[in-house]
Amino acid sequence: MVTGDKRNDRKMLLGSRVKDGNKKIGQIILWIYFVIMTMIYPYYAPGGYLRIGEAKYLFFRNVTLTVVAIMFVVVICALIRRPGYLVNYYHGMSVTDWFAYGYFVAVMLSYLCSPYKEEALWGADGWYMGAVMQMAFVLLYFFFSRYFVYDGKWLAVWLAGSAGVFLLGILNRYSIYPFVMEGQTPVFISTLGNINWFCGYWSVTAPVGMVLYWCSEKSWHRLLAGCYSFVAMLVGAVQGSESAYLVFAAICAVLLLFSIHNVRRLYRWAELCMIWLAACQFGRLLRYVPGLRMNYGSAINGGSPSVMEKLTDTNITLWILCVVLAGYVTGKVWNRKKDMAESMKKDEAEPGGIRNIMTDVHKRAICTAVAALFLVLVAAGLFCKGGLLYERAEAEEYGWDNGRVMIFNEDWGNGRGVAWNCSIEAYQGFDTLHKIVGVGPDCFAAHIYREPVLSERLAEKFAQERLTNAHNEGLSILINLGALGFLCYVGFVGSMLARCCKKAYGQILLYACAAGILSYTVHNVVSFQQVLNTPYFFILLGIGEGLLRGNKERT
């Protein structure tokens, strides 16, 4: 005779086996998808550069929607066999999960209230960031946060795939094309398209390897990550899009602040700085190698040197490298005299190796120096002629008192100034409903070019080019998804970054996720969502949530 307790035990065991079986199937599916996205998708470019944006989109759409459909079947099977799973799922949701659901709902509401439903469904031609893709991104986040395998193998696979893309980019920039790509010009690079699309992919991928070098403990990990970082930094310096320097600055500042409490991390930070400076000088040396020819830059065409050319064809980075190297060696010698060997042994005996070698005064001094450097760079960009703000003698033309005043320069950032101004003015003209839900996913162009004054201003700056976004992700989301979508998106990304940074100490994979999320966010202050960067961003968000959930369950 079987007692009630035994029957309950059998049901629990059966439910556990069903849960494990469904999760195993989901893990296999997502691993296959991850390998396709990191090892195949970046290289997929049939027909060369002529229709590369559409080809990449169709590949991503077909593979992703197939995987999403299969994962839905897996989830439904789990719910049928274990109805209580759904209740437990909602009880275990994090603040990031709730913001992700909010963003999903905001996309749906924006589509339903959009006056441009045909374009809102799939997105603008050539960009395809419509409602279907936005909702697919959120589903990727949830699937990866619940089903993916969070060991270090995913990091190795991703970095291996991206390293080949970066090497091709370096060769292309120096006029070597191992693969003939139809329609190739210096503006197109590697197998990703124009430099803005390339830089978008680079921004969410390269910093992951850089941070891996900074926080790895094993020597062979650091060696591989150091080689990867050198390649990633070199291609970031020479690829042509100056938005890459925002990523360099953000990663440099954040890692410095994270390194204050740990002397080894502080040395790693200095080493990363030296790797970047050495990469810039190596790019300079490549200019003099027979058979290689730098094929991009304003100075090549007789103009003033760009930032890229100043860094990779002058002594600026060489002198800075010498200064940093001298400080690095001095610090090493000083620490050795202070019996550094004994201190390091103590670090290794403690979890994470914390060593408070700095007083609060030292920490405040470093934070002040970082803040001052940042302000100097911002001031240089804002107040120099040609920057965001500049001096104007003809103040009376704008109704100001006579004298020299600061005004917004709409030519800043290759026309980003006028795009941002027009975006703000377009949002101000919305009715209450559309201020809340926007005009529809990826409907920026559909709306703004129907406003005569705004379309005329954009036409004056961009001529025949049709601007499909504000070249600022936040403004684009505000126009497309309204205040609701914007706030949910900010909460979604911000909460994940805060939680990763809070829990990352001693967890390399969380550091890697935080780096990719941060660099994507900083880069897209002057850039946009597209199929070569946004999918990886949401995958990183999902992996970060999965790591945090795993830590919570173990605790």
Q: What is the pLDDT of residues 78-115, one digit of tens each?
A: 777 776 666 666 667 899 999 999 999 999 999 999 99
pLDDT in tens, 115-141: 999 899 998 888 899 999 999 999 999
Band of pLDDT at residue 378, cut at 50, 70 and 90: very low
Rounded to the nearest integer, the mean pLDDT of the chain is 81
The reported pLDDT for the residue numbered 85 is 66
The reported pLDDT for the residue numbered 41 is 95
The reported pLDDT for the residue numbered 391 is 37
Lowest mean pLDDT among 52-66, 362-376, 399-413: 399-413
pTM of the model: 0.85
- Whether 214 contacts 268, CB under 8 Å: yes
The reported pLDDT for the residue numbered 355 is 43
The answer to whether residue 308 scores a pLDDT higher than 70 is yes
When pLDDT is averaged across residues 411-434 and rounded to a whole number, the result is: 83
Band of pLDDT at residue 158, cut at 50, 70 and 90: very high
Lowest mean pLDDT among 121-135, 143-157, 292-306, 500-514: 292-306
Q: Give the ranges where 82-152 is alpha helix by DSSP (H).
A: 85-91, 95-112, 117-122, 131-147
The answer to whether residue 394 scores a pLDDT higher than 80 is no
| Residues linked to residue 389 through DSSP beta bridges, in sequence order | 408
The reported pLDDT for the residue numbered 11 is 47
Distance of alpha carbon 155 from alpha carbon 516, whole angstroms: 12
Distance of alpha carbon 474 from alpha carbon 315, whole angstroms: 37
The answer to whether residue 46 scores a pLDDT higher than 80 is yes
Count of H-run helices and E-run strands, the chain: 22, 4
Write a three-state SS string for 229-265. Answer: HHHHHHHHHHCCCCCHHHHHHHHHHHHHHHHCCCHHH
The reported pLDDT for the residue numbered 58 is 93
The reported pLDDT for the residue numbered 324 is 87
Tokens at 331, concatenated: 């610090």
- Among positive and negative, which fits the CA dihedral 178, 203, 240, 49? positive
Instruction: Look at 374 and 266; give whichever has higher pLDDT.
Output: 266
pLDDT in tens, 239-277: 988 889 999 989 988 888 888 878 888 889 999 999 999
- Whether 238 contacts 173, CB under 8 Å: yes
Distance of alpha carbon 240 from alpha carbon 306, whole angstroms: 9
Q: Which amino acid appears at position 105 of this protein?
A: V
Tokens at 555, concatenated: 């605790």
Distance of alpha carbon 470 from alpha carbon 444, whole angstroms: 8
Of 554, 516, 507, 506, the C-alpha closest to 151 is 507
The reported pLDDT for the residue numbered 307 is 83
